[in-house]
Structure 1
Amino acid sequence: MRKIILAILLFYYGSCFSQKLLNSFPLPLKKDKDVFQIVDKETHITTFFVSDNKKVKALLLDQNMQIKDSITTVSPKSSNYSNMIGYNKSNGNIRLFWASEDFKNIYAQSFNFKSKSIGGVTQQLPLLNEKVLGNFSENNKLYLLTIVEKTSMLRLYVFDENFIIKAYAIDLKERKFYDENFKLSPLYDNVLSPEFGNTQIVNLDVPSRLSGAANRRKIYSNKKEITIALDHNINFTQLIVIDLETLKTEVNLITMPFIEDSDPQNTKTNSFLFEDKIYQIKLTRKKMKIDLKDLNGTLIKEYMINDSIDLGLKNAKILKTGDDFGRDKIIEKPLQFLSEVYNKNLSINCVKYGIDSFVTFGAVPVINRSQSYHNFNLMSTMRQNMTPHNSMNMQMQIKNFGGRPGPSPQFTEQFIYLQKPFNPFSTPEEVYCSVILDREGNFLDRNTDDFIVNKLGAFYNSLQDISTETLFKVDNNYYLGYYDNKNKKYIIRNFAD
């Protein structure tokens, strides 16, 4: 029966969804499989890296994901460089950065497809009582952001195209940071205290749903700035914005939605930054409120759910996913929705949908440290002893579609331990509502079933025995790559939005 159902799913998803098999090539891989890609937005050429614990294979792919050239060399994992963390380019060389577990040693592995030359340079980082928050490749540079323990001192390490490291101190001791009990505290206690979990990297380049934004401590990056968003205090979102050119830093407080008679002990909040706006969500046992504001805190729109869902739209469905057959259940009663959400990790996020916005709000499961959780990503190479700061914003990692057992990221109430930014389109027992908003925040009466998030999630759930997945974007097309463990092939598919 299972094979029959799978065959039906494969036929349905293959015939109805606008996905296309672009490439499938033999690739024997062993332990510690990993994947990384660099997209040249001007030439549409993708440099694709696939590695295991023995070798790295660099592939040059054209805009149709066909192999133009390849280079194979020894993997730095054999020398204890366990994480691919970023890239830059210089004089025809593509430089892939690797880091040791403690980030104190950085290895730059260079590839030149014209000369077929391979090189490597090692640098040591003078990390002293510092914790790594995140790493980002922007402006042909690698940025590594750290925080000094028990302080409000950030440090930004910048690796330029010549692999020269510059370190900048960002002292925020004169700025005010509040803990969840409204007491002044060092920034460290708000970001990396074990009590609050770890910081989640958010990638806005490719679509995601709720699990990619469930953590209440997030870092966003673009070519101009890095933003740290803190939502542990139920009354406001604290934003720390670092200009990557001037290093000028701004700290702002944006007030959370107001719900009358809310009990602080029974209130949950979260937020999501998107372009020049912020979505903030607040939840009590019987009410949910969402505010859309600009980054000065000016209210644009507000939405309320209580005993009735007054959203001004017709096609929005509230779904609960993840029964034994992978089916979605429609929730009709607003109070049932609020009850389901309240017992999980509250989340909201947004992705671009043409000129409009695709917004999803709801919750993902609270999973104890001892419980297993399905992973779709790193993809499958996630290891329990790795820390969440090993992240890269130029590629989207995907996890938690539900279905099969796998390595186990750890979930606890109100925060999620993750290794890399990932794109979980659906999670077992996820409860959510997806809507489309115009530029002014008005609901549009459109069906969301055909949006790329749902296409990818549904297709992925039909796959079996895969690993080393990645999702990335070239122009307006999304590309899903994954390793077929049984047939020892790497496969790349295209999904049109």
Structure 2
Amino acid sequence: MKKLLLLLLLICGSTLLSQTVLNSYPINLRNSGEYSQILNVENSKTHNVFAFIADDKNLTILQYNKVLFLTNELRTSRTNIEDKLIIGYSFDEDQNPTLYWSTEDFKSIVLIKYDMTNKAIKPLKFSFPYSKQYFIATFQKNNIFYILSKDSAEQTLTLYQFKDEAVEEKPLDFSTFTFQNRNTQPITFNQFIRDNPIEKIEVGDYNPLSRSIKKSKVYMLDNRLILTFDQNPAKTQIFDVNLETYEIKEKNFPQSMTETSRKLSNSFFLDDRLYQINTNPEELQLDIKDYNTGETIKNVKVSKNDTIKFKNSPLLLQIEDQKPKEIKKTSTFLKYLSALDFGISVFKNSQNAYITIGGITQQDRPYYSFYDDVQPFQINLSQYGQNQTAYFESILNSNSEFIQQRQEPFANDNIFYYLDTNKKIKLQNILTLDNFSILSYYDSAAKQFVMRKFTDGFIPDETTNPLIDKAVFSKSFRFDKP
């Protein structure tokens, strides 16, 4: 799921951080190696939770009911799939799981159905046409597994749907639609995807700026696949794919006009709202639009001489995992943004929408250096190999009003802090449920599989947040998420 996290460790009075052990299971992963893996998933119909625990030789499946009592288990060898990792799962009508095992290049994919009642397995093989297609992303929705790929020659995407031992292949034809580059010149769909590779957005999770700055994004929703394209600074082009009929509908949302023609723009799609952002050294604009009606719900415009009143954090500059430094002037911040790859990320919980606006250096393009003598530091955007980010955060309440309040950590923030302070944890995986998240991992010292619950916020009497930055992920953790 999240692969990189910036941890800003301030003063911390506790390492508990709203976490509780839910379950533990004794297991010795003596053959733990390159192909070892832990995956926790929820059956979306029954709400049973499954843990798939694999070392290089064996697989253990633990089945828990919806109140997380262990109800069943199965242990089997990994013969003939020793060189593969789990890339996805599905559940059949009998609620038995099927795992999808693949080599890293996706050239060999094996489907194995696990009968939890009869303790039996049934392997099947899927031949991905890697000679003419390349992999884009996998998705899980409503107990169904999907693979999205791109045909190298045709003006199409291909969506594979895996359900009940059957694979349905659906080409998505974009040849009749019009595409433009950032200079508004017409290009083919293949040219567009080549120049703007599609980035998968984790719906329901926080998406870091490193993901949301991409110009092409794909979102898997209930019965819909949404593709948003922002390569043209003047508009956001959206394709809405119905997963029952596979009909493709196009919508275009113009970006707000700016005083100068040169600008950077991007967008983020969440809960049938489109968050559009554009900037240049002179100004910053944010539009929130209703996807179904096109109505503008909110518009905010800030010039370089204004204060950004809707921010809930300082204007911050981050280099690698160093402590963020505050940028005092809006004009300086806008200069930084104009030299970076620019984007917006939105995460929503039961109360508010949390918005991050900023930019990140990309190592495959040149940058510029500039110095503001009012500021106590200099940023050199020509330094390759450094992750550099300028950003700020805002909070939008359910009435679409910006609010100012203390930012408490999300459950996943607490998880990452816990991981950073517990080095004996191996093969970690996060399962996000409605009201909390579960961190599953192998405790190599205790030789146990552990499920630990984390919630949003501080524990009682906790007064500081050891994690305040959600803009970038720069510390590596391995997560096993299909």
- 2:281 is the alignment partner of 1:281: no
Aligned residue number for residue 286 of structure 2: 290
Farther off after superposition, 24-33 or 356-365: 24-33
Cα distance in 2 for partners of 1:438, 1:135 equals: 32
User: Residue 175 of structure 1: which of 174, 177, 186 is its match?
Assistant: 177
TM-score (norm 1): 0.75
Between Structure 1 and Structure 2, which shows a larger proportion of helix residues? 1
Quickly say closer, same or farther: Cα 1:488–1:331, change in 2 above 3 A: farther
User: By how many angstroms is 1:457 displaced?
Assistant: 4.5
For the Cα contact (< 8 Å) 2:412–2:437, is it kept in 1?
no
Q: CA deviation at 1:153?
A: 2.0
Aligned to 2:479: none
Q: Distance in 2 between matches of 1:482 and 1:328?
A: 30
- Distance, in Å, in 2 between the alignment partners of 1:75 and 1:287 is 57
Q: 1:430 to 1:52 in 2, by over 3 A?
A: farther
Residue 130 (1) aligns with residue 95 (2): no
In the other structure, the counterpart of 1:58 is 61
Q: Deviations over 1:32-65 (max 9, x none)?
A: 3333332134544211223343333322235565
Indicate the residue corresponding to 2:395 in structure 1: 436
Are the equivalent residues in 2 in contact too, given 1:13–1:459 (CA < 8 A)?
no
Aligned pairs for 1:340-351 (under 5 A) are: 340-351=336-347
Partner in structure 2 of residue 366 of structure 1: 362
Aligned counterpart, 1:110? 113
Following TM superposition, by how much is the alpha carbon of 1:274 offset from its aligned partner in structure 2, in angstroms? Answer: 0.2
* Partner in structure 2 of residue 75 of structure 1: 78
Note if contact 1:130-1:146 (Cα within 8 Å) is conserved in structure 2: yes
**Alpha carbons of structure 1 residues 76 and 10: separation in structure 2 relative to 1, 3 Å:** farther
Evaluate the alpha carbon distance shift between residue 118 and residue 220 of structure 1 in structure 2; reply closer, same or farther with a 3 A threshold: same
Partners in 1 of 2:431 and 2:307 — Cα distance?
Answer: 36
- The answer on whether the counterparts of 1:190 and 1:230 sit within 8 Å (CA) in structure 2 is no
Match of 2:146 among 143, 146, 152: 143
Q: Does 1:316 align with 2:313?
A: yes
Instruction: Tell me, in whole angstroms, the C-alpha distance in 1 between the residues paired with 2:317 and 2:77.
Output: 46
* Matched-pair identity in %: 22
Answering whether residue 80 of structure 2 is matched by residue 84 of structure 1, we say: no
CA distance in 2 between partners of 1:322 and 1:12 (Å): 26
Which residue of 2 is the match for residue 404 of structure 1?
A: none
Three-state SS of the structure 1 residue aligned to 2:135 is strand
Corresponding residue for 1:94?
A: 97
AA aligned opposite 2:272: D
Partner of 2:334: 338
| In structure 2, distance between residues paired with 1:308 and 1:242 | 42
| TM-aligned CA distance change 1:89 to 1:311, over 3 Å | farther
Q: Are the counterparts in 1 of residues 38 and 440 from structure 2 also a CA contact under 8 Å?
A: no
The Cα of 1:83 is off from its aligned counterpart by 4.7
Q: Is the 8 A contact 1:53 1:78 kept in 2?
A: no
Checking the alignment, whether the CA contact within 8 Å between 2:213 and 2:342 is kept in structure 1 is: yes
The offset of 1:242, in angstroms, is 0.8
Where 1:336 maps in the other structure, the secondary structure is helix
**Does structure 1 retain, via aligned residues, the 8 Å contact 2:225–2:242?**
yes
Give me the whole-angstrom Cα distance separating, in 2, the residues matched to 1:473 and 1:242: 26
Matched ranges for 1:195-344 at <5 A: 195-196=195-196, 198-263=197-262, 267-295=263-291, 296-308=293-305, 310-313=307-310, 315-321=312-318, 327-344=323-340
Tell me, yes or no, if the aligned pair for 1:483 and 1:491 is still in contact at 8 Å: yes
- The corresponding residue for 1:379 is none
**Greater percentage in strand:** 2
**Superposition deviation, residue 492 in structure 1:** 3.1
Query: Aligned Cα RMSD in Å?
Result: 3.3
Q: CA contact under 8 A between 1:86 and 1:97: conserved in structure 2?
A: yes
Tell me the amino acid that sits aligned with residue 119 of structure 2.
Answer: K
SS of equivalent residue, structure 1 residue 350: strand
Equivalents in 1 of 2:101, 2:278: separation in Å?
A: 39
In structure 2, what is the equivalent of residue 158 of structure 1?
161
Distance 2:282 2:413 in 1: 29
Compared with structure 1, are the counterparts of its residues 77 and 259 closer, same or farther at alpha carbon in structure 2 (3 Å cutoff)? Answer: farther
Select which of 446, 452, 464 maps to 1:493. 452
The C-alpha deviation readout for 1:438-470, integer Å capped at 9, x for no partner, is 345320222223444544454444343655332
- Mark the CA change 1:77 to 1:253 in structure 2 (over 3 Å): closer, same or farther: farther
Deviates more, 1:466-475 or 1:182-191: 466-475
- Partner Cα separation in structure 2 for residue 306 and residue 457 of structure 1: 36
**Partner SS, residue 278 of structure 1:** strand
Counterpart CA distance in 2 for 1:251 and 1:268 is 23
Q: Which residue of 1 aligns with 2:38?
A: 35
Q: Give me the whole-angstrom Cα distance separating, in 1, the residues matched to 2:412 and 2:434.
A: 17
Aligned length: 427
> SS at the partner of 2:137?
strand
For the Cα contact (< 8 Å) 1:86–1:135, is it kept in 2?
Answer: no
Cross-structure match for 2:474: none
Question: Does the 8 A contact of 2:198 with 2:217 survive in 1?
Answer: yes
What amino acid does structure 2 have at the position aligned with 1:276?
Answer: D
Change (3 A) 1:261 1:321: closer
Distance 1:435 1:461, change over 3 A: farther
Paired with 2:184 and 2:403, the residues of 1 have a C-alpha distance of 38
In 2, the alpha carbon distance for the partners of 1:242 and 1:288 equals 32
Equivalences for residues 437-452 of structure 1 within 5 A: 437-452=396-411
One-letter amino acid of the structure 2 residue matched with residue 319 of structure 1? L
Post-superposition CA distance 1:110-165 (Å, at most 9, x none): 2222222222111334566222322223233322222322432232222222x122
What secondary structure sits across from 2:335 in the alignment? helix
Where in structure 2 are there 5+ consecutive unaligned residues? 1-6, 366-380, 457-482
Partner SS state of residue 190, structure 1: helix
Partner of 2:15, secondary structure, is helix
SS in 1 for 2:236: strand
Secondary structure, aligned partner of 2:13: helix
Give yes or no for contact 1:207–1:452 (8 Å, CA) kept in 2: no
- The alignment partner of 1:90 has SS state of coil
Q: Which amino acid aligns with 1:147?
A: K
Instruction: Choose from 462, 478, 481 the match for 2:440.
Output: 481
Cα gap change, 1:320 to 1:467, in 2 (>3 Å): farther
- CA separation in 2, counterparts of 1:86 and 1:361? 34
- Partner amino acid for 1:493? R
Q: Structure 1 residues 53, 222: closer, same or farther in 2, change over 3 A?
A: same
Q: Secondary structure at the match of 1:337?
A: helix
- The one-letter code matched in structure 2 to 1:18 is S
Return the alpha-carbon distance in structure 2 between the equivalents of residues 321 and 459 of structure 1.
Answer: 22
What is the CA-CA distance between 1:246 and the residue it aligns to?
1.0
Q: Which structure ranks higher in relative contact order (CA pairs < 8 Å, sequence separation ≥ 6)? A: 2
